[in-house]
Structure 1
Amino acid sequence: MRKSNSLRSRSTFGGRSRTAKFTVASCALSIALVTGCGAEDRDDVLKGFQLQLPPCPTENLTFSGQTSAPGINLAMSFTAPTSCVEKYLQDHHVDLSRPLYWPASGWDVIGDHTFPPTEPPFEPENMKQFKLKLDPNKQYKKYVGFRTPKDAEFTVLLVPVGEMTSLYMESDLAGRVGRAD
């Protein structure tokens, strides 16, 4: 009995079995591959995209992104006064007189894929991050072409909230993000 306890204590380290240690190491490696070496904080990612938050107070900020390959991306949302959101969009080359709408008025065809009018406006992981549940019986303004000085482009969706507007944005093109200028 004593011998098996001795063997057992040698096969575990710090209370973890070899399987548990392997699982932890595998997860750490997976995270490093997906997020790059070291997670980037919000300020670093915004700086990498040459993007600032609007100058007015914001609420309910959500954020995810990275500026290094693979997967240069940025998804962000916040709620702010409507006039501030509109100014923010104009400052980033958005023509407010030319909105698209969600849901779309008809089916879209891009290449070999046909999209229904209620196709979610963002990638599934960003829809979850935003906790965005849209009513297909309402119409929401959507804009493309929101650009940063690094030529990154975003799709933007606006959801009115009384006197405020919630802005949801997802990068479409990375432009020169990740490259030194």
Structure 2
Amino acid sequence: MSEQLAEQFEQIITGIGEDVRREGLAKTPARAASAFRYLTQGYEQSLEELVNGALFESDLDEMIIVRDIELYSLCEHHLLPFFGKAQVAYIPNGRVLGLSKVARIVDMFARRLQIQEQLTRQIAEALQEVTGAKGVAVQITANHLCMMMRGVAKQNSEMSTSMMLGSFRERQSTRNEFLQLIR
């Protein structure tokens, strides 16, 4: 698979008029294939394997927030990176998830060809599925190189998306508490 991907990167490089035999590019197709496999490794992961039983019984019923989870993804429209931070919260319903698993869920979905709106929803729905939480909230702010490097070329633009499930959607006070705590 990686060899085929390297050959395709070689075709792309040749297609733009470069010589893949020159010193600086000689190993680029293989390096690009390896990097692309890494950047899209989310396709090789499953939620069940990722969580790996790291759910723990708890009588806690207050909001849990994991803030400033760095994320890196590739825009499915241009294959250019977007990067930012996710704020993830949930209200447990008898079980809590191991802390690192929240960040791993973010990474699993970010490491796929993606749009930010979909990424936000996937993270929220996965956390809801895994924990059975009373409510889940996800907010992402990201910079998109497809908007910064090409097209409109707006260097300081950011995109913000959110997804609220359960009590975060149903109760304005819960939503407001989350939004206040992530500011």
Q: Is the structural similarity TM-score above 0.5? A: no
When Rg is computed on C-alpha atoms for both structures, the one with the higher figure is 1
Q: For this structure pair, what is the TM-score category when the shorter chain's length is used for normalisation? A: under 0.3
What TM-score do you get using the length of structure 2 for normalisation? 0.26
More helix, by proportion: 2
